Structure 1
Amino acid sequence: MSAHSSDTSAGTPVPPAAPVARRVPAPRRDIVVAAVFDVVLVLVFVLIGRSSHSEGFSLAGTLTTWWPFLIGLAVGWAVSRAWRRPFGIRLPGLSIWLLTVLVGMLLRTVSSQGVEVSFVIVATIVIGVFLLGWRAIAAAVAARRPRPRS
């Protein structure tokens, strides 16, 4: 007997299975805005870090430093399914932040880039402030907007 029919073999009717609710992605504009903010802020982190170590700006150097974190950011977006709620602080924000740092540091290790403890600490804090901070600001702005009356 199928799962959608009423089964009375045990004496109790079994209701048909409820349809599975599908999560609808956020509007495309929200997804693009959130992704751009994340990518740009990770780049800002890289540029600040390179300038604070007197490494200056070079496209090759910037890309070398940026790519591990950019891949970490992409992993964070994929694992957390950020397109569903891209402005969320806890979800997907925390996952994106932690995976950006974790994957970024792992890739820096395998590509023979530095992963000193002090760098890991600073990167974790700065990337967290950047990726969670803009989401917190967006949430505060959204909360202050008057709601349309229905």
Structure 2
Amino acid sequence: MSPRRIPTLAFAADVIAVVVFAAVGRISHDEAESLSGLLATAAPFLIGLVAAWATPLVRAHPVGFRAGAVVLAGTAVLGLLLRAAFTVQLPPLVFVVITVVSLAVLLIGWRALSLLVSHRADQRAVR
């Protein structure tokens, strides 16, 4: 794979992770299945994701754990703040915890899996 494609694929993986997070949240709360509802739920977190991706660290090394931490922080913090501003109420603490843990599993999880697969491929190439 061309190294130039890695940031594009990493960004796409992050967008998919945030949309999956929003979809699972909507399903778990028995909210209507509509594209507009999904986009409305995901929008604050996608804005946070884009802001996190604007940082040089994430753009330079998008698959690393540091980038994952920056993406997680930007997505969760900005997403929660924007969501609170849109709904004009602070979310309950349990929602904040579930949001951060879920996004961590999704945004850092694919990076960990990617690094593991890459490491295994490197080991096989040495043999």
With the length of structure 1 as denominator, give the TM-score of the two structures.
Answer: 0.76
- The one of 24, 27, 42 equivalent to 1:66 is 42
Structure 1 vs Structure 2 CA RMSD: 1.8
Contiguous gaps of at least 5 residues in structure 2: none
Give 1:113 deviation, angstroms: 6.2
Identity %: 37
Aligned to 1:93: 68
Give 1:65 deviation, angstroms: 0.6
Distance in 2, Cα, partners of 1:87 & 1:121? 24
3-state SS of paired residue (2:114): helix
What is the total number of aligned residue pairs between the two structures? 123
Q: For structure 1, which segment, 43-52 or 108-117, has the greater mean C-alpha deviation from structure 2 after superposition?
A: 108-117
Aligned to 2:84: 109
2:64 maps to 1:83: no
CA contact (8 A) 1:87 1:135 kept: yes
Amino acid at match of 2:28: S
Query: Does the C-alpha gap of structure 1 residues 54 and 126 become closer, same or farther in structure 2, counting only changes over 3 Å?
Result: same
- The one of 128, 137, 150 equivalent to 2:113 is 137
Give 1:80 deviation, angstroms: 4.8
Aligned to 1:12: none
Which one has a bigger Cα radius of gyration?
1
Aligned to 1:57: 33
Give 1:28 deviation, angstroms: 2.5
- Higher helix content, 1 or 2: 2
With the length of structure 2 as denominator, give the TM-score of the two structures.
Answer: 0.89
Amino acid at match of 1:94: A
Structure with more contact order per residue of length (Cα contacts < 8 Å, sep ≥ 6): 2
CA contact (8 A) 1:81 1:92 kept: yes
Distance in 1, Cα, partners of 2:99 & 2:117? 27
Aligned to 1:40: 16
